[in-house]
Amino acid sequence: MDWLQTDDAIRTLKAVGLVMFFTIFSGVLLWVLLRKRSEIRRWSELPLDDDPPSRDSE
């Protein structure tokens, strides 16, 4: 585990972490942007809705 203490390993791990963060962030952003407006509107109303969501409304 001493190799984790080297400057090269730290730089590599920083780069890997940044790439992973950017990839996941971009994936989630694309997933949200590709949703239908009606689906997003339904999601936004869930905290105010007293009835459980039904699968028929989709």
pLDDT interval class at 34 (50, 70, 90): very high
Mean pLDDT of 18-44: 93
Mean pLDDT of 23-52: 87
Burial label for 42, CB within 10 Å (0-12, 13-18, 19+), is middle
Q: How many domains does the chain have?
A: 1
Q: Which long-range contacts (CB under 8 A, 24 or more apart) does 31-34 make?
A: none
In a domain, 30, yes or no: yes
In a domain, 24, yes or no: yes
- In this predicted structure, the answer to whether residue 10 has a pLDDT above a threshold of 60 is yes
- Predicted structure pTM score: 0.60
In a domain, 22, yes or no: yes
In a domain, 38, yes or no: yes
Could you tell me which residues come within 8 angstroms of residue 57 by beta carbon, excluding any fewer than 6 positions away?
A: 42
